Structure 1
Amino acid sequence: MKSKIIGVCPNCGNSVVEREKGWFCESNPCRFVLWKDNAFFKRLGKRMDAHVADKLLRDGRVRLKDCKSAKGKTYNATVLLGTEPDGRSKFSLEFEGGC
């Protein structure tokens, strides 16, 4: 089965394809992957889906509404996609102005 290319790896510039467990860089030894079962997004009460993966790969960021904090409050934030030195994905949050 031909994997569908959904974007370009932010680490090495090769194609990123969807597989059963996530979106993976096709290049070996690059270790970039966006896992579908993503702990960072779970903590926000969100899921890594095709739309989120596409936005992260295209723009390097995705805006999420109604994220949940550990204390149960909701907020809007932008998730920024980065990469570790070994190519693995990492995420950070950017908050909008206000409290």
Structure 2
Amino acid sequence: MQLQIITGSAGSGKTTQLRAIQDELKDQGTDVVIYHGASCTTPFFINHLCNQAMAGVTHFLADDCTQFQIKAVTDLKARGIHSGIPSGFVVHLVRQA
């Protein structure tokens, strides 16, 4: 799994950067939804991310993620091949301001 965490203060363009990634993927023929991290619990968020990865989705985009969600994804990535997540799965997370 590849992980990019986008951080910055409020109004710094974090969501704009995430939408640009979404647009670039769409131009390449990959439709990707942007999930809203703050609207779900950390266990639900991680379960959803894992389900998407196992279903063959190649990218996961999430905006407004909590520090706990980001920590959980970082921990999952640290497990490497033992996480069960394909190495080509790419995650872009925007941290809450």
- TM-score band (shorter)? under 0.3
When normalised by structure 1's length, the TM-score is 0.25
Name the structure where helix makes up a greater proportion of residues.
Answer: 2
Name the structure where strand makes up a greater proportion of residues.
Answer: 1
Q: Which structure has the greater CA radius of gyration?
A: 1
